[in-house]
Amino acid sequence: MSRAIRVERLLSLMVVAGLVFAAAGCAPATPEAAEPTEAPEPAVEATKVLKVGVLSPFSGPAARTGEEIKGAVEMAFEAINYQIGEYKIEPVWIDSQSDPAKGAQAYEQAVVQDGIQAGLIDWHSSVAVSCMDIAAKHKIPHFFGFAATEVINEKYESDPEKYSYWMGKTWPSAYKLSIAYVTALEDAIAAGTWAPEKKTAFIWGEDTDWGRSFGNAIKKDFENTGWEIVGEDYFPIDQTEFYPLLNKIKDLNPAVIAGTSAAPPAISALIKQADEVGLESLIIADGLGWVGEWYDLTGSSSNYVIDQIPQFASAEAQAWVKEFEEKYGIAPSPSAAGQSYDMTNFFIKLARRTLEKHGELTSETLYEVGQSELWTGKLVYTDGMMHARYEYNETSIPDPVVGKGYFIFPVLQYMDGEGIIVWPDDWATGKLVGKGAEAIP
C-alpha cells in the first residue's frame, strides 16, 4: 500500500506553536543523547513478578481496536519470553469499555486488587483524563498512553508533580497534527488537482475529549487559512445512525467535512451513510484506518476519504504484519497495533534500563527512570516500525517530539481500499483529488 518513505523536504508545512522539526532525513535536531548499552541478558530464573496493567477498550464500541492492542502487546512480551532479568512480566488487561467512569473503576481495581506496579498504553482521551487521578493517587507510573487530547496536557500543567505519573503520551495533541490536513487541501487547490467552489467546511466528531480536541484544532486550522466554518456537530461515541446529520450537511453543501471517531462502528457508518445520501463534500475522517478491516467496513464508500495514518513501510514491518495476521486472524492497523508494538518495546527498554540502574523493578524505580531519563531525552527508542525516533524532552512533555525524523503521520487519500500518500510532497505516491476525479500518480 505504501512505498519506502524518504524524508528530505522543507519543514515549514506543519508550522504550529511550539512545533520544532528536525533537519532533513532522520537526523535529530540536537546531538544524540547517550543511551545505555544493552548487553544480552544472561539466562536467569524468574523469581520475581512485575505486573503491568494494559489499559484499552477490550469490550464496547472500540473493542476491535482493543483486540489489536492486546495482540501487539502480547507479541512484544512473547519476544522476550515475558521476562526481564529475574522478573516475569505479568500483563493485567484493564478493560476501559470506552467509558471514563468504568475505565477509572477498572484501573483502580487493577491497582488495589491485582497489584499492578506500572501501567501501559490506553486508547480513549476521556478515559485517560479520568485515570490520571488514579495513577497519581496510587503513584503508579503509566507509560505511553495513546490518548491525545490537550486536556491531558492542561491537567499535567495544573500540577506537574502530581500528574507526572502519566508518563508520556504516545500520540501528541491534535493541534500538532491537524494542520497537515489543511495544508494538503491548500496544496491540492494550488496545484489544480482539486477546485472547490468555496472554501467551506463542516466539523463533526464523537462527543469526547478526543473528538472535541480534534474538532477544535482543525477548526482553527481552517479559519487561520481563510476557510469558512458552516457548521459543527458532535455525537455519542456509540452512535451509528447519521442520516439526519448528513442530510443537514448536504443542504449546507460544504467543500469539506472534517472530524474523527475512535469507534470503528461509528466512523464506518458515517462514511457509508454519507455515500448513501449522496454527499459530495470531501471527507476528512481522522482514524478511519485505525483498524485493519476499515475497507471491509466501508467498501467503496471510503473512496476519496482523507486520513492520517503511519505506514508499515519496511520489510521487517511487513513481516510482522503477516505474523500478526497468522496469529490472530485479523489485519493489524499501523496506528493501533503497530504503535502498540513499538511502545511496548520502548517500555521493555525502559524497564531493562531501570533494572540496570536500580537493581529492581518497582513503581518507584520505573518512575525515577521515567523522570530522569525518558522525560529528559536521554532514553529514546529508534528501533520502532512506525516512526524513526520516539523521544520526549523538557520542551515536549507530556507529548513526544513531533516532526520529520520523529513522530509524524503522512496524509492519505483512500481509493479502492488503498491509501495513497498525498502529503508531504516528498513522501507522496499520488495527488489529492476531488470526488469523481481519477487518482493522480
pLDDT in tens, 124-183: 999 999 999 999 999 999 999 999 999 999 999 999 999 999 999 999 999 999 999 999
pLDDT of residue 69: 98
pTM for this model (two decimals): 0.84
Could you give the percent of the chain with pLDDT greater than 70?
90
CA 168 vs. chain centroid, Å, equals 13
Asked whether the predicted pLDDT for residue 9 surpasses 80, the reply is no
Domain map of the chain by residue range?
A: 37-173+314-374, 175-309+408-427
Query: Of 98-112, 326-340, 363-377, 426-440, which range is least confident?
Result: 426-440
Which residues have CB under 8 Å from 107's CB, separation 6+? 53, 55, 94, 96, 119, 131, 134, 135
- C-alpha–C-alpha distance, residues 327 and 148, integer Å: 29
CA dihedral (184, 408, 416, 70) positive or negative: negative
pLDDT of residue 41: 54
3-state secondary structure of 73: helix
Does the fold of domain 175-309+408-427 match that of domain 37-173+314-374?
A: yes
| 303 or 13, which is more confident | 303
CATH of domain 37-173+314-374: 3.40.50.2300
CATH of domain 175-309+408-427: 3.40.50.2300
pLDDT of residue 42: 53
CA atoms in the 13 A half-sphere facing the CB of 47: 4
pLDDT of residue 441: 74
Mean predicted confidence (pLDDT) in 118-122: 97
pLDDT in tens, 24-76: 333 333 334 334 434 455 578 889 999 999 999 999 999 999 999 999 999 99
Mean pLDDT over the full length of the chain: 90
pLDDT of residue 438: 76
Q: Contact at 8 Å (CB) between 86 and 48?
A: yes
Rounded CA Rg of the chain: 21
Cα angle 197, 285, 283; round to 5: 20
pLDDT in tens, 158-169: 999 999 999 999
